[in-house]
Amino acid sequence: MLIFVDVVPLAIPVIVEPPTIGALLVSASEIQGVQLQILGILALFFATGSLVIIFMLGLFIERAVGHLVINILSKITGLILAALSAQMGMSGIKHFFQPT
């Protein structure tokens, strides 16, 4: 039985930000040869599997470090997420008004 703890949908862009997705698309389009394509697919599955394992171990980590530490880390993570979103928004506005 899988038990999922709180997952914030806004955390997904922090895990895989748009520049990371763009870099993956560009690097995947430049891969030549079947062996390198297979290696790229395996690397993607390994990265995804690592995230799944970390997410599934979240409940055990919470039990190990305690609820208070999780609350503190949650607030710090929220602050970092707010700063990243503000920075991404300001960068978008800056690039929108720059002459091309």
Model pLDDT for residues 4-33, shown as the tens digit of each residue: 445 555 555 556 666 666 666 667 777 788
Q: What is the pLDDT of residue 10?
A: 52
pLDDT tens readout for residues 49-100: 887 887 888 888 888 988 898 888 888 888 887 887 788 778 778 877 887 6
Please check whether residue 51 is in contact with residue 15, taking contact to mean a CB–CB distance below 8 angstroms. yes
Cβ-count burial of 70 within 10 angstroms (0-12 exposed, 13-18 middle, 19+ buried)? middle
Q: What is the model's pLDDT at position 4?
A: 47
